Structures are given as structure tokens and as C-alpha cells.
């Protein structure tokens, strides 16, 4: 070893210099200092820890939020001949056991895992036995409830310090509001961290906000112009499928991605997109975090995102290779009203939560001051219709009560479950040895039912609850855990909502305990949406300047390539001239955009704007061979 950071950079990655604060971060890590690195999307956060990890003895443990992300990074490292390993979903206990052993004895340099995995006893035990060079928390904003991707499991990352107090902890994110970074430092117990923030200015992305009543038509045009990759962001799963279909019908290579498709399909689709077999990914915000494709030249937001954080992070996936690229937000007159409806009007306020709480008590006939441990079955739709309640608001209010430990809500309550053991007995015994929490439970199950290794067996959770003195809810959880670890196969038929009251009825006072928190969270959401809408409406200040200001950065120079800058730069005269010339040319014969550009000798920006205006005004159209013609 004993190589310098630069030598490592060029030996493995073939790059000759560091970007932004990479080198400073690497030096801090080398000196054993904790780090909070706030670098924009595409800023090169991975190298900040990958380079020093190769300089140090031991293994670098990386917590990362998404399986796809883990796979992508591990594959990239493996391609470079670096020993890296990721704990994927759907691994059997025995496999994890073996993989972690490999880490300890096999001289691995990187272990990637999700925050949920980190909570497993076995995983923690094994990490304790490893020679850890550093801990990395990627996408660290997930730890903060002020961030936009709050993920409760991330709070569990603080355990790392207990497992190994010595190695430095590196937190990295592209979300840089003050509140979020303070939260990260606090939650991860970073000690005297080296905090560094690089500029979030992305000089090669042209941000545009376009108002049009024909979003589909516009979308199609943009997609037809690309030569590399694009991502189209939508807010609903249905819309993702619908738009993808629309683009395919228009002879474009598109597919879709959202939280509702199974893991295998997700990986498949991500891969065909990464390998350029399809160019366009239509997706909800489930797609993209940390995905590193250098040649994305177009990001379209087909619907308005709920915050500038989300917008900027998604748009920032364009142009990682430094090439000119576009981030276009398509909007129309009804969108803004819709956004308010979808994001703001569904936020229950304190009075509403109080009202719902009272109605729940009335519905279940619970008296004032009474505390009941009964498990209630809530027919949600009936409840809403009896009291004439808005379902979204009510659902959110119930979630709020759950989050604040007034009630405990489970959606997957199932009356009927069947299980079957799918491991070898040896593996099961090892599992039991390593999971003392579940050992007794498994033994009772095995004693109660015969044939569990041969057949699907129906389980009576009530009976098990008596035998084990565990609540039925916990029994369900235990089975879920066993299924996750692939010790058993588990099926359940779910019914409606099930709920338990966790505190005696005290009406308003129960809610007052966290009223401030409700107000704050609501306020925060409203503020975020409002800022997003302001950004859309403000067409006098350079888009990049507006975005950076939101992240607390003062940017003096205009980007020169956003819709605001372009309209100021060209005025309208260039476009008007271009339009006249295009009409003249098309009178003679139809032509594609390349041919037009050669003839017109204007910038691509002006040409595109001119063509778009002509299309919108129905003066020209695009024919089946991708040529423009007069109408």
C-alpha cells in the first residue's frame, strides 16, 4: 500500500485530478477525523471514501438506502478488481452468515448494507469482529425528519459508534439545508467533524419551466431529440405506466419504474436503462437516488414535485459527464391548484386530529379516562362514511396518531396465516443460536405443530399467543422476520386496519402533547410546496441562482442556459427570425432538425425554441420519418 490518494485515483479510476473538496475530505479521513460532506449530486461523493478505504487497512462499511444503489456500487468496484460485497435483499440467513464470514477472513475492502440490515443481531455481531477502517453513511439526509426522504431505520445508524468507537464516521449527502446537516451531526454523534460544502451550481444543466396545455406533445418532442438517456418523473404509479405506454406507442424506447413493481423487475429495468437498451425511464421518485449514469441528457418533471430539494436532486441526475443537458419542468394552469390539493389539503391540523381521536373513541365506545387493551378492528371505509370524513385526511390523521404512539395501527392484520420451514435443520439450529430473541418462539412453534418442514401449515396465532405470552401482533412480526431471513415461507390473508389504543382516553390533552409537532411538520410541508411554486412562477431570476439561493448559496453569475437567461439573451428577435426562415425552408421541402440547423446557422437553443413555438401554434408538424412539415 502506502500509495498517495492521487496514485490510487489514477491507478483504479484512471482520473488525473480530484474535484471540489474530494481531496480535503480524503485527507481528513486519513487523519481519522469524522466528516460531513455536502456535495451536489454527481459531485463524486463515492470517491471521497473509496480512495481512502484503499489506502487504509481493514474494511470500509457503507450504509446505503437502496438495494439497487448497493448493487450498482458493488458492481463498479468489482469491475475495478476491488473486493467489495453487498448484502442484498432476499438473502437467506445461512448466506448472510457466509458472506459476513468472507468479509472477516477474505480481505474484503468494502461491505455495503442497508440500515435495516444493520439492525440484525447477526450483522452487528459480525461487524464487531471485523477490522473496520471507517463507517460511511451515504445519503445521510435520510436520518433527518427535516429532510425529504426521512427513513426511520437510518436513526439506527448511531449503533455503529457502539460497535467500534475508533474508526471515523463519514456522512455524505447532496441535501444541504442547515437544519438537515445539524440533524446529521447530532444523530450520528459525529465528533468535531470536518464539515465541507461544495457549490451546488451545475453549470451544464439548463433548467427550464415550460407552461403548456399539451404536456404529452411537448414530452414527445423532447424525447425525440435525445441521443442518450432520459428520466421522466411523475408522481403516481399509474401515470408512470400510462406515460411509458404513450411514449412506446410513439416509437420511443421507454419503460417505467415505481415502488409497486417487484424487485426482480426493478433490477431488470434499471439494467436495461443503464445498458442503453431503453433510453427513457418514466418513474416515480422511487427511482434514481444515487444512481450514477453519466450520460443522462434530459430530465423531465411531468408533474410538480413537492419540494425544491426533491426537484433539484432529481434534476441533478442530468449531465454527470459534464455535457450540456436539460432539466425541464412541464406545467399547466391546473397543476398548481392540483399540487395544493394533493400536498397541502391532505394535511390534518391539530383540530382535525383531535376530532378523529374523539370519533374513534366514540366508534369503539371507549369512555373518558378508560384504558382498554382490546384490539379493535377498524373498517376504515365504514368509519369514514358514518362520520362523513375525507379519506385522505382521516388516513393521515390515523398515521399521525400511530407515529405519536397514541394508537398502534397495523394494516396487514391477517386472520389466516400459513407457514412452512424452508431451511435445512442444521441451518435452523445455527439461526437459533444467533437469534436468541427468536429462539424460544421458534421452539414453541416447532413443538406445537408437526410437519412444518414438509407442508404449508395453518397457524392459530391466538393459540400461540397463549402459549408464548406474546401479543398476536408480535407473533406476526416474528413470522415476518423469519420469512425475511428465509427461514420460513409465510402467507397471510390480510383484512382491514387493526388498532390498539396505547394510552387512556384523555381527549384533547392526549393530542396536545404533540400538537406543536403536528403544526411544525405541516408548516414545513406547506413551506416546501410554496417555495416550489414560487420557483415555477419566478421567470425573472436565473433558475440556477434561484435554486442555489434556496440552499443558502449566493451565486453571482447567471447560468446563461436556463429558460430565464435564454429569453433575456435572445430576446424574441432571434426566435422570430428563425421561425420565419423555418417556414420558408419547409415551404420547399420537409426537413429534420439537423438539416434545419445546418441551413439556419442558429444555436440549438434558438432552433428548438422556434420549432416548439411553431409546433404549438400548429403551423408545422412532425411526420412519421421525423421530419418537420408545414400544416
The option from Mg ion, ligand ADP, none interacting with 394 (CB < 5 to 8 A, set by class) reads none
The option from Mg ion, ligand ADP, none interacting with 294 (CB < 5 to 8 A, set by class) reads ligand ADP
> How many CB atoms neighbour CB 443 within 10 A?
12
Place of cell 382490546: 374
Separation CA 327–CA 300 (nearest Å): 6
User: Is there a contact between 296 and 328 (Cβ–Cβ < 8 Å)?
Assistant: no
CB of residue 548 to ligand ADP, shortest distance in Å: 17
Residue 62 or 300: the one with the smaller Cβ distance to Mg ion is 62
Chain residues that interact with ligand ADP, rule: CB under 6 A:
15, 18-19, 22, 39, 41-47, 290, 292, 294, 320
The option from ligand ADP, Mg ion, none interacting with 181 (CB < 5 to 8 A, set by class) reads none
CA–centroid distance for 541 within its chain:
29
CB of residue 41 to ligand ADP, shortest distance in Å: 5
The option from ligand ADP, Mg ion, none interacting with 331 (CB < 5 to 8 A, set by class) reads none
The option from ligand ADP, Mg ion, none interacting with 41 (CB < 5 to 8 A, set by class) reads ligand ADP
Residue 147 or 290: the one with the smaller Cβ distance to Mg ion is 290
The option from Mg ion, ligand ADP, none interacting with 18 (CB < 5 to 8 A, set by class) reads ligand ADP
Among all residues, whose Cβ is closest to ligand ADP? 44
The option from ligand ADP, Mg ion, none interacting with 42 (CB < 5 to 8 A, set by class) reads ligand ADP
The option from Mg ion, ligand ADP, none interacting with 52 (CB < 5 to 8 A, set by class) reads none
Residue 51 or 389: the one with the smaller Cβ distance to ligand ADP is 51
CB of residue 174 to Mg ion, shortest distance in Å: 8
Nearest by Cα to 380 from 351, 359, 403, 354: 359
CB of residue 65 to ligand ADP, shortest distance in Å: 12
**Angle, CA 214 vertex, CA 211 and CA 215 arms, to 5°:** 70
User: Is there a contact between 36 and 185 (Cβ–Cβ < 8 Å)?
Assistant: yes
CA–centroid distance for 299 within its chain:
16
Residue 76 or 225: the one with the smaller Cβ distance to ligand ADP is 76
Question: All 3 cell numbers of residue 139?
Answer: 445519503
What SS3 state is found at 166?
A: coil
CB of residue 2 to Mg ion, shortest distance in Å: 28
The option from Mg ion, ligand ADP, none interacting with 269 (CB < 5 to 8 A, set by class) reads none
The option from Mg ion, ligand ADP, none interacting with 21 (CB < 5 to 8 A, set by class) reads none
CB of residue 60 to Mg ion, shortest distance in Å: 15
Residue 283 or 615: the one with the smaller Cβ distance to ligand ADP is 283
Residue 20 or 290: the one with the smaller Cβ distance to Mg ion is 290
Residue 45 or 301: the one with the smaller Cβ distance to Mg ion is 45
The option from Mg ion, ligand ADP, none interacting with 47 (CB < 5 to 8 A, set by class) reads ligand ADP
CB of residue 172 to ligand ADP, shortest distance in Å: 7
CB of residue 43 to ligand ADP, shortest distance in Å: 4
Exposure string over 449-484, b if 16+ CB within 10 A, otherwise e? beebeeeebebebeebeeebebebbebbebbebbbb
CB of residue 595 to ligand ADP, shortest distance in Å: 34
Separation CA 379–CA 585 (nearest Å): 66
CB of residue 241 to Mg ion, shortest distance in Å: 28
User: Is there a contact between 488 and 421 (Cβ–Cβ < 8 Å)?
Assistant: yes
Residue 51 or 602: the one with the smaller Cβ distance to ligand ADP is 51
CB of residue 273 to ligand ADP, shortest distance in Å: 16
Range list of β-strands (E), 24-105: 35-38, 59-63, 84-86
Strand partners, 22: none
Residue 148 or 220: the one with the smaller Cβ distance to Mg ion is 148
Residue 116 or 198: the one with the smaller Cβ distance to ligand ADP is 198
String of DSSP letters for 99-160: HHHHHHHTT-SEEEE-HHHHTSHHHHHHHHTS-EEEEEETTGGGG-TTSSS--GGGGGGGHH
Strands 169-173 and 132-137: parallel
Exposure string over 581-607, b if 16+ CB within 10 A, otherwise e? bbeebbeeebbebeebbeebebeebbb
Residue 6 or 531: the one with the smaller Cβ distance to ligand ADP is 6
Nearest by Cα to 417 from 365, 371, 479: 479
String of DSSP letters for 343-400: IITT---HHHHHHHHHHHHHHTTPPTT----PEEEE-HHHHHHHTT--HHHHHHHHHH
User: Half-sphere exposure of residue 125, counting CA atoms within 13 Å on the CB side?
Assistant: 10
Residue 270 or 397: the one with the smaller Cβ distance to ligand ADP is 270
CB of residue 41 to Mg ion, shortest distance in Å: 8
Alpha carbon separation from 589 to 64, 225, 603 (Å, rounded): 55, 20, 22
Phi, psi of 326 (to 5 degrees): -125, 145
The option from Mg ion, ligand ADP, none interacting with 359 (CB < 5 to 8 A, set by class) reads none
Chain residues that interact with Mg ion, rule: CB under 5 A:
45, 290
Amino acid at each position: 500500500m502506502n500509495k498517495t490518494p492521487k496514485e490510487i485515483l489514477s491507478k483504479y479510476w484512471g482520473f488525473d485530478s480530484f474535484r471540489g473538496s474530494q481531496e480535503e475530505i480524503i485527507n481528513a479521513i486519513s487523519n481519522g477525523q469524522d466528516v460531513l460532506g455536502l456535495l451536489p449530486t454527481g459531485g463524486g461523493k463515492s470517491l471521497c471514501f473509496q480512495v481512502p478505504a484503499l489506502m487504509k487497512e481493514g474494511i470500509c462499511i457503507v450504509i446505503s438506502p437502496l438495494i439497487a444503489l448497493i448493487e450498482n456500487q458493488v458492481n463498479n468496484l468489482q469491475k475495478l478488481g476491488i473486493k467489495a460485497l453487498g448484502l442484498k435483499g432476499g438473502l437467506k440467513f445461512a448466506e448472510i452468515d457466509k458472506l459476513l464470514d468472507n468479509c472477516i477472513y477474505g480481505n474484503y475492502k468494502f461491505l455495503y448494507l442497508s440500515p435495516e440490515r444493520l439492525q440484525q443481531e447477526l450483522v452487528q455481531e459480525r461487524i464487531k469482529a471485523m477490522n473496520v477502517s471507517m463507517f460511511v453513511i451515504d445519503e445521510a439526509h435520510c436520518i433527518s425528519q427535516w429532510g425529504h426522504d426521512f427513513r426511520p431505520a437510518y436513526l439506527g445508524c448511531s449503533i455503529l459508534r457502539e460497535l467500534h468507537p475508533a474508526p471515523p464516521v463519514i456522512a455524505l449527502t447532496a441535501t444541504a439545508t442547515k437544519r438537515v446537516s445539524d440533524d446529521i451531526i447530532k444523530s450520528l454523534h459525529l465528533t468535531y467533524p470536518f464539515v465541507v460544502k461544495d457549490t451546488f451550481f451545475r453549470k451544464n444543466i439548463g433548467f427550464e419551466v415550460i407552461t403548456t396545455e399539451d404536456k404529452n406533445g411537448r414530452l414527445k418532442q423532447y424525447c425525440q431529440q435525445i441521443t442518450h438517456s432520459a428520466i421522466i418523473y411523475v408522481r403516481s404509479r399509474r401515470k408512470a405506466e400510462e406515460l411509458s405506454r404513450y411514449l412506446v406507442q410513439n416509437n420511443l424506447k421507454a419503460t417505467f419504474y415505481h415502488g409497486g413493481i417487484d424487485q426482480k423487475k426493478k433490477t431488470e429495468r434499471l439494467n436495461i436503462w443503464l445498458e442503453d437498451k431503453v433510453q427513457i425511464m418514466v418513474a416515480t421518485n422511487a427511482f434514481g437516488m444515487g444512481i450514477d449514469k453519466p450520460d443522462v441528457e434530459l430530465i423531465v418533471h411531468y408533474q410538480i414535485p413537492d419540494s425544491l430539494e426533491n426537484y433539484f436532486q432529481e434534476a441533478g441526475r442530468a449531465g454527470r459527464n459534464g455535457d450540456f443537458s436539460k432539466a425541464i419542468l412541464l406545467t399547466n394552469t391546473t397543476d398548481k391548484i392540483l399540487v395544493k390539493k394533493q400536498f397541502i389539503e391532505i394535511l390534518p391540523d391539530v383540530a382535525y386530529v383531535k376530532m378523529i381521536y374523539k370519533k374513534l373513541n366514540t366508534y369503539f365506545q371507549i369512555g373518558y379516562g378508560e384504558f382498554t387493551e382490546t384490539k379493535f378492528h377498524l373498517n376504515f371505509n365504514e368509519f369514514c362514511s358514518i362520520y362523513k370524513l375525507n379519506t385522505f385526511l382521516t388516513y393521515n390523521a390515523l398515521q399521525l396518531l400511530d407515529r405519536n404512539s397514541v394508537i398502534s395501527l397495523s394494516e396487514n392484520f391477517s386472520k389466516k396465516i400459513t407457514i412452512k420451514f424452508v431451511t435445512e435443520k442444521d441451518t435452523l439450529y445455527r439461526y437459533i443460536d444467533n437469534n436468541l430473541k427468536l429462539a424460544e418462539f421458534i421452539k414453541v412453534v416447532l413443538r406445537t405443530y408437526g410437519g412444518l418442514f414438509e407442508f404449508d401449515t395453518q397457524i392459530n396465532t391466538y393459540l400461540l399467543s397463549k402459549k408464548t405470552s406474546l401479543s398476536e401482533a408480535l407473533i406476526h412480526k416474528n413470522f415476518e422476520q423469519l420469512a425475511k431471513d428465509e427461514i420460513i415461507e409465510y402467507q397471510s390473508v390480510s383484512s382491514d386496519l387493526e388498532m390498539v389504543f396505547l394510552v387512556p382516553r384523555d381527549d384533547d390533552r392526549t393530542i396536545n402533547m404533540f400538537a406543536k409537532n403536528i403544526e411544525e411538520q405541516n408548516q414545513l410541508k406547506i413551506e416546501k410546496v410554496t417555495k416550489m411554486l414560487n420557483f415555477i412562477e419566478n421567470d425573472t431570476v436565473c433558475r440556477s441562482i434561484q435554486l442555489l439561493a434556496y440552499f443558502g448559496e449566493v451565486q453571482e453569475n447567471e447560468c446563461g442556459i436556463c429558460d430565464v437567461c435564454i429569453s433575456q439573451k435572445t430576446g424574441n428577435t432571434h426566435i422570430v427570425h428563425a421561425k420565419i426562415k423555418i417556414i420558408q425552408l419547409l415551404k420547399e421541402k420537409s426537413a429534420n432538425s439537423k438539416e434545419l440547423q445546418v441551413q439556419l446557422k442558429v444555436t440549438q437553443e434558438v432552433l428548438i425554441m422556434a420549432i416548439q413555438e411553431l409546433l404549438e401554434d400548429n403551423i408545422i408538424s412532425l411526420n412519421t420519418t421525423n421530419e418537420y412539415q408545414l400544416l
